[in-house]
Amino acid sequence: EFLGVPFATPPVGALRWEKPTPPESWEGVRDATTFSYHCTHFIAPFYPLLGLASGDHGEDCLYLNVWVPQGVDQIESMPVMVFYYGGAFILGTGEMYPGHLLATQGDVIVVNFNYRLSTLGWLSSGDDVLPGNYGLWDARAALQWVQQNIAQFGGDPSRVTIYGHSAGGSMVSHSVISPQFDGLFQRAIAISGASSSFFSLTRQAKGNLLMMSEIFGCDSSDSQEIVDCLR
């Protein structure tokens, strides 16, 4: 397993509410034995009792994890499955869904990734200032990483299946219909979620932004001024 592999530059500071950009390269050997921070998300007191995500979290969270069956090398060309976790778009992390069992029993390479959640992933002004869907752009960046790098793990970039449940299923559905995802996968499985699901759509984008403006003391109704203040 290869854990905590960066697929984008940390979306902090001026990069908050921006599309993800490629990560910086590094020299030498990188430690890939531990999971990264979770993306900042909603945590209820009972989550630890249910084994739900409750660990360290923050905005520097755009990392993915790869599970490879034992004995596979770079000359292999194995199918790849990329998982989108669910959680109502407000909680979740790749760490909650380790892929080692599927990789070994299904004879596939499994990838999952963190994406921005809640306000940091889905806030929108309803106009060009803050168009939103940053969590979905994170998914696209993860799939681009897979296309560019999965062959080094023995995976076949022309045999990529995306799959997800609940909110993750809705994101899979969004990925299928969006031209921004063309060529990044070949098959898709959406479980208990679709683009038309009631929880997949924001109907009061500007109203939500104004509410955030009030909560954080950004005294303005102008989209750009609010975004600058929140950043």
pLDDT tens track for 17-26 = 999 999 999 9
What pLDDT is stored for residue 43 in this prediction?
62
What pLDDT is stored for residue 51 in this prediction?
59
**Share above pLDDT 70 across residues of the chain, in percent, rounded to a whole number:** 93
pLDDT in tens, 180-216: 999 999 999 999 998 888 787 877 888 888 888 888 8
Q: Is residue 117 part of a domain?
A: yes
Q: Is residue 230 part of a domain?
A: no
What pLDDT is stored for residue 149 in this prediction?
97
User: Measuring CA to CA, which residue among 85, 98, 94, 88 is closest to residue 43?
Assistant: 88
Phi, psi of 2 (to 5 degrees): -125, 110
Cβ atoms of 157 and 151 within 8 Å: the answer is yes
Q: 76: domain CATH number?
A: 3.40.50.1820
What pLDDT is stored for residue 203 in this prediction?
78
Q: Is residue 194 part of a domain?
A: yes
Q: What is the pTM of this model?
A: 0.91
Radius of gyration of the chain (CA): 18
Q: Is residue 159 part of a domain?
A: yes
User: Measuring CA to CA, which residue among 155, 109, 116 is closest to residue 38?
Assistant: 116
pLDDT in tens, 134-152: 999 999 999 999 999 999 9
Q: Is residue 222 part of a domain?
A: no
Q: Is residue 227 part of a domain?
A: no
Q: pLDDT higher for 215 or 172? A: 172
Taking residues 164-188, report their average pLDDT. Answer: 97
Q: How confident is the model at residue 100 (pLDDT cuts 50, 70, 90)?
A: very high
Q: How many angstroms separate the CA atoms of 158 and 155, rounded?
A: 9
In total, how many domains does the chain have?
Answer: 1
Residue span of the structural domain in which 109 resides = 2-122+132-203
User: Measuring CA to CA, which residue among 115, 121, 120 is closest to residue 97?
Assistant: 115
Q: HEC string of the chain?
A: CEEEEECCCCCCHHHCCCCCCCCCCCCCCCCCCCCCCEECCCCCCCHHHHCCCCCCEECCCCEEEEECCCCCCCCCCEEEEEEECCCCCCCCCHHHCCCHHHHHHHCCEEEEECCCCHHHHHCCCCCCCCCCCHHHHHHHHHHHHHHHHHHHHCEEEEEEEEEEECHHHHHHHHHHHCHHHCCCCCEEEEECCCCCCHHHCCCCHHHHHHHHHHHCCCCCCCHHHHHHHHC
* Mean per-residue pLDDT over the chain, rounded: 90
